[in-house]
Amino acid sequence: MAHQVRGRGGPRRAVPRVRRTGRSRLRPHPAAPPRAGEPMTGTELVLYLDGVPAGTFWQNAAGNIGFVYDASWRANPRAYPVSMSMPLAATEHRAKPAKAFLWGLLPDSSGALARIARENHVSATNPMALLRAVGRDAAGAVQLLPPGATASDAGPRNVNIATLTGSEFEKMMISLANHDEDWDPGAYGGRWSLAGAQSKVALTKTSDGAWGVPQDSTPTTHILKPGIRGFSNHEINEYLSQRAAQALGMSAAQTELIDAGEAGAVLVSTRFDRALEGEVLHRLHQEDMCQALSVLPDKKYQKDGGPGLAQIADLLSNTSLGDRGNSRRAMFDAVVFNVAIAGTDAHAKNFALMLNAEGQQLAPLYDMASALPYEKRLTKSGPLLAPMRVDGEDRFTAIGRKHLIATARRFSIPAAEAEERIDRILTGTADAYTAAADELTGEVRTSAHEIAHAVRDWGELRGWIEKPPTIITSPAKTAVPKQGRVPKGTPAGGQYDVKVNDEAPDIDLTNV
């Protein structure tokens, strides 16, 4: 049975009481082909936001994709845009923004896309067809369903899960870790679409700590990620990074580490796009920066033509007036933090916006990790590079204070305030990692401190934190035997004459 290796990284969140179904529903089963009469390409998909129809994605015979808002959604005083790239002011949006939004809901892994396509007899290059199969529980508030289907969220929401036993949960985590590109969640009865390249699964957690596969209208509450093959202790790395960011005053997704038996440590991240009202679990809408900027996921890195900090700064300048200042500061802090940890995966898809009737806000930080524990492996082909250039510089070894100050200006942050933020984060990150490692126990704690040491060594190398003085004690006063034996009858007869070497110099290398 899985158990925690530490307490939660923050206050306990309410968990709805759950109606559980029998475990017979969890038996592996083959994927069902589309029903007779249903189009293989999914020419239309109705988009629901927390159970309310907001519009329809369409695809014509030529493969072109577009989106049209429902008139009732646009007339709703509490309406908000599906994407910053598809404002409510226009009824219809074609091609680039619609396509980028849909692809952003799907896994980045070609293996995962191929598995979904194979099981549902559709093309792995058609996002409409793929989401027709797995769009029932997508990121944020999104559900995508064929026309005529009723969104389960639109009716009474009976929280209902198929509970996993301890052994079932452990087997799921082992399977997930061993199939990082083509894991089949369908074998457990679920239908999920989680964006990103890393293997992960979304589950629902009960008030008594059990894990379950959501049924019908029940949203998932947590995202679980085992380690990544080839990157030792990456799950611990991400946990430390999230906790350190929180300790430095940043809003970051709540995480914990659990021991999943043979599967090892598993990172559990509480979904920030869920909210509990009474006993009803609501979906909150979000989109990543690539979706917001109409950029396809394969262009998420700036070197591949993806967004940079300048585009994100401009995007935040167009968010709701009351939120943009806080969002700019939060984004700038994240930039500084990723410089402090050499966060090579801090690309545009790993930042998101929350969209609601009140406006748009930068989402809590997520998927953060340091490349420093893997530096020797990663630098064989060149230096560690930032995924988004900082004032034109992408080499982490070269990004300095002047680059960060210039970036602060781009985010409309005054110089004095920027200096304070830079100092606080660059000087405090190593201690924050150490404190997070101290919260853990057992072998996980040992591994965590190795990661924390790598971050500290980097900070010392860059001169952001002082290197502790190296104190070498003076040589011990040596005993030198006098040649020859003292004749018997003398006070020291029968012994070597011991001479203390008082001329050995006292050496202080404290400041060397």
Q: Catalytic residues, which ones?
A: 345
CB 173 within 8 A of CB 260: yes
Cα dist from 221 to 55, 206, 239, whole Å = 25, 9, 18
Start-to-end CA span in the chain (Å):
53
d(CA 172, CA 262): 11
d(CA 354, CA 222): 17
Q: Quick check: helix, strand or coil at residue 494?
A: coil
Determine whether 89 is exposed, middle or buried from the number of CB atoms within 10 Å of its CB (0-12, 13-18, 19+): exposed
d(CA 269, CA 223): 5
The residues near 46 (Cβ < 8 Å, ≥ 6 apart) are 53, 55, 56, 144, 145, 146, 147, 149, 151
The residues near 503 (Cβ < 8 Å, ≥ 6 apart) are none
Q: Quick check: helix, strand or coil at residue 157?
A: coil
CB 391 within 8 A of CB 312: no
